């Protein structure tokens, strides 16, 4: 029998709701925790929306009853002690703020049974930044999902030097069991595998644009034809969302990042063109007028 059967997800925002729903969809007993009943009401709507999305995107079995069964299999609570009392695995998906996460782990360490494995979904913090607050560094690691987990179903698994290899293996098995493709990192690395590859590509593309060397369509066409990739970097920017791209570029220390941030703001963001989500970004996604 797999070691992990009961899963608790902390935070029911963009990623937490997806992680909880995906695990429930694959038959795990899932508890979703958030800070108040008001927030949990919003989570209920998110979960219902995810059930519809799984059906719409024709995730295997979704239309045959699994999407609705997953909803029924989710328990929502604002009581942290109750949420973790029987958890084999707690996946933390609370906001990306170091102090907030430390506080969450300190509370969690006191409440969760000794058997519970803790995993962080943090995109930018290393598990080493948090391990001392978990009370169980040997049962702690990162388990990192990408947005739209049912579609982009990689789960990057990254321990610290303290993580017990048996715990790591149990989390790999959970990732597989919940419909994810485990991506096993042997050491800690900011950005994991995916962003270690993607960020330099996106930076190179924005550099070609702000230096006036090539326009987005030329860059993307080159990348698609020469590598066989389905999308070029500016198409990826549109999927990520131009507000996120702007926030990252604006925080960049170099002049090129600042120039790209200014271009994004002036040509796109100020005009409400935020990428695929608004129907227009570097490209238009609006249906053709009839």
238 binds ligand NAD (CB under 6 A): no
Binding mask 8-37 for ligand NAD (x = CB under 6 A): --xxxxxxx----------------xxx--
Which is closer to ligand NAD, CB of 146 or CB of 264? 146
Which is closer to ligand NAD, CB of 15 or CB of 117? 15
User: Got the DSSP string for the chain?
Assistant: --S--EEEEE--SHHHHHHHHHHHHTT-EEEEE-S-HHHHHHHHHHHHHHHHHHHHTT-TTGGGTHHHHHHHTEEEES-HHHHHTT-SEEEE---S-HHHHHHHHHHHHHHS-TT-EEEE--SSS-GGGTGGGSS-GGGEEEEEEPSSTTTS-EEEEEE-TTS-HHHHHHHHHHHHHTT-EEEE-SS--TTTTHHHHHHHHHHHHHHHHHTTS--HHHHHHHHHHHH--SS-HHHHHHHH-HHHHHHHHHT-SSHHHHHHHHHHHHHTGGGT--BGGGTBSSSB-SPPP-
Which is closer to ligand NAD, CB of 135 or CB of 207? 135
Which is closer to ligand NAD, CB of 26 or CB of 144? 144
145 binds ligand NAD (CB under 6 A): yes
Stretch that binds ligand NAD, among 82-90, 94-102, 151-159, 263-271 (CB under 6 A): 94-102
168 binds ligand NAD (CB under 6 A): no
Residue whose beta carbon is closest to ligand NAD: 13
The binding site for ligand NAD (CB under 6 A) comprises 10-16, 33-35, 39, 93-96, 100, 104, 121-123, 144-145, 147
């Amino acid at each position: 029998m797999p070691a992990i059967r009961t899963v608790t997800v902390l935070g029911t925002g963009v990623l937490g709701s997806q992680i909880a729903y995906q695990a429930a969809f694959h038959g795990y007993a899932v508890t979703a925790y958030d800070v108040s009943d008001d927030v949990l009401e919003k989570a209920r709507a998110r979960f219902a929306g995810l059930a519809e999305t799984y059906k719409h995107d024709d995730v295997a079995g979704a239309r045959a009853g699994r999407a609705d069964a997953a909803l029924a299999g989710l328990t929502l609570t604002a009581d942290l002690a109750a949420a973790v009392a029987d958890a084999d695995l707690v996946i933390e998906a609370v906001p990306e703020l170091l102090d907030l996460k430390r506080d969450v782990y300190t509370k969690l360490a006191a409440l969760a049974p000794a058997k519970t494995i803790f995993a962080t979904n943090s995109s930018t913090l290393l598990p080493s930044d948090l391990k001392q607050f978990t009370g169980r560094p040997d049962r702690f690691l990162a388990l990192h999902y990408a947005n739209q987990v049912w579609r982009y179903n990689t789960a990057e698994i990254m321990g610290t030097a303290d993580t017990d290899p048996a715990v790591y293996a149990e989390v790999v098995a959970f990732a597989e069991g919940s419909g994810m493709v485990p991506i096993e990192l042997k050491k800690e690395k900011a950005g994991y595998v995916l962003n270690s590859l993607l960020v330099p590509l996106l930076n190179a593309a924005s550099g070609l644009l702000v230096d006036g060397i090539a326009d987005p369509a030329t860059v993307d066409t080159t990348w698609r034809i020469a590598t066989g990739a389905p999308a070029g970097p500016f198409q990826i920017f549109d999927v990520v969302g131009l507000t996120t791209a702007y926030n990252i570029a604006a925080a960049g220390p170099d002049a090129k990042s600042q120039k790209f941030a200014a271009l994004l703001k002036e040509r796109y963001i100020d005009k409400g063109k935020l990428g695929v989500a608004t129907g227009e970004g570097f490209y238009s996604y609006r249906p053709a007028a009839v």
